[in-house]
């Protein structure tokens, strides 16, 4: 009887393992670390977020590939339009495009998000922000799940000429085969040396560990470190640099290049009277 019980338990564990959701995933269309402060009230920002996997996987659903198309040589571009609604809240929409190796540039998904800051910079010992995003993905080529909710707190602390930003990510599939699963956990973080406005070197960290209740084995998790240069030159904001995968489940090398323009177009609302809106 004991043997049967053990076999049954092994079978159940095997079934659970087989039924586990896809490995930990991060958002490969957005290698960007958001600060606690938002786009200023009345400001319109248009950004192009670009990355290419120079050394990735030749199979789908590996590395940064969330869908059936492999990550190797995949170009990704997100066009992001952001508007500062108030002194503390901004709204953004994204159009995600991708060009797989040997294929054409094609629609990969869309995202909408709100981001906010709690109080003005310097009013709290640690500057606080929040981030809420709804992401639609084109399946099965670019993702295995259709609709996802992402929530993040943002913590920022300036120490001398250094800015430290940490942002844990909590993701929930809303529409897709894993909609009944729990929350996934990941992170987006960065440290920058504020040398000059036109040039700030830094390190950025992106990662995903899988489901919070049963994280993927470390080997299968995705963790990346990017060496970046960012800044603003003649009104153009930029951020670029190579990223390196730190685990077997990560792509080996990714290059990112983000560029953005800001223009004040007028505010819908007056100045904030409190710290939340």
Partner 1 sequence: MKYLMIALNLALLAAGGPAWAAPADETVVELRYENRKFVPQTLNVPANRPFKIKIVNAGKEAIEFESFKINREKVVGPGETATISVPALKAGSYDFYDDFHRDVPEGTIVAK
Binding site for partner 1 (CB under 8 A): 37, 40-43, 84, 87, 119-124, 158, 163, 194, 196-197, 264, 266-267, 270-271, 273-277
- Least distance from partner 1 to the Cβ atom of residue 162, Å: 11
> Which DSSP symbol is given to 270?
-
The smaller minimum CB distance to partner 1, of residues 14 and 123, is found at 123
The smaller minimum CB distance to partner 1, of residues 25 and 239, is found at 239
At 11 the three-state DSSP class reads helix
- Least distance from partner 1 to the Cβ atom of residue 191, Å: 14
The smaller minimum CB distance to partner 1, of residues 1 and 159, is found at 159
At 124 the three-state DSSP class reads coil
The smaller minimum CB distance to partner 1, of residues 119 and 244, is found at 119
- Least distance from partner 1 to the Cβ atom of residue 43, Å: 7
- Least distance from partner 1 to the Cβ atom of residue 178, Å: 30
Contact 52, 255 (CB under 8 A): yes
Which residues fall within 8 angstroms of residue 154, CB to CB, at 6 or more apart? 34, 35, 36, 115, 128, 129, 130, 131, 165, 166, 167
The smaller minimum CB distance to partner 1, of residues 145 and 156, is found at 156
How far is the C-alpha of 225 from the C-alpha of 246, rounded, in Å? Answer: 7
Contact 131, 155 (CB under 8 A): no
> Which DSSP symbol is given to 214?
S
> Which residue bears the tokens 């659970």?
16
User: In this structure, how many other beta carbons lie within 10 angstroms of the beta carbon of residue 69?
Assistant: 20
- Least distance from partner 1 to the Cβ atom of residue 257, Å: 23
């Amino acid at each position: 009887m004991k043997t049967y019980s053990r076999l049954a338990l092994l079978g159940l564990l095997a079934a659970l393992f087989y039924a586990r959701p896809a490995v930990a995933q991060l958002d490969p269309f957005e290698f960007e670390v958001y600060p606690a402060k938002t786009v200023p009230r009345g400001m319109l920002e248009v950004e192009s977020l670009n990355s290419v996997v120079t050394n990735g996987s030749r199979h789908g659903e590996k590395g940064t590939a969330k869908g059936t198309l492999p990550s190797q040589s995949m170009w990704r571009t997100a066009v992001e339009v952001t508007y500062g609604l108030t002194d503390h809240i901004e709204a953004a929409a994204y159009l995600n495009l991708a060009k797989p190796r040997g294929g054409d540039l094609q629609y990969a998904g869309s995202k909408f998000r709100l981001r906010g800051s709690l109080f003005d910079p310097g009013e709290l010992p640690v500057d606080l922000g929040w981030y809420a995003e709804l992401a639609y993905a084109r399946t099965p080529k670019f993702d295995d799940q259709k609709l996802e909710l992402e929530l993040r707190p943002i913590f920022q602390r300036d120490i001398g000429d250094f800015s430290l930003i940490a942002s844990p990510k909590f993701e929930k599939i809303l529409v897709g085969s894993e909609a009944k699963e729990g929350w996934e956990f990941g992170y987006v973080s960065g440290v920058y040396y504020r040398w000059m406005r036109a040039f700030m070197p830094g390190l950025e960290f992106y990662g995903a560990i899988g489901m919070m209740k049963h994280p993927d084995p470390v080997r299968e998790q995705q963790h990346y470190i990017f060496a970046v240069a960012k800044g603003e030159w003649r009104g153009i904001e930029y951020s670029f640099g190579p990223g390196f995968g730190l685990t077997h489940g990560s792509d080996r090398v990714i290059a990112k290049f983000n560029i953005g323009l800001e223009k004040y177009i007028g505010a819908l609302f007056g100045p904030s009277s409190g710290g939340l809106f």
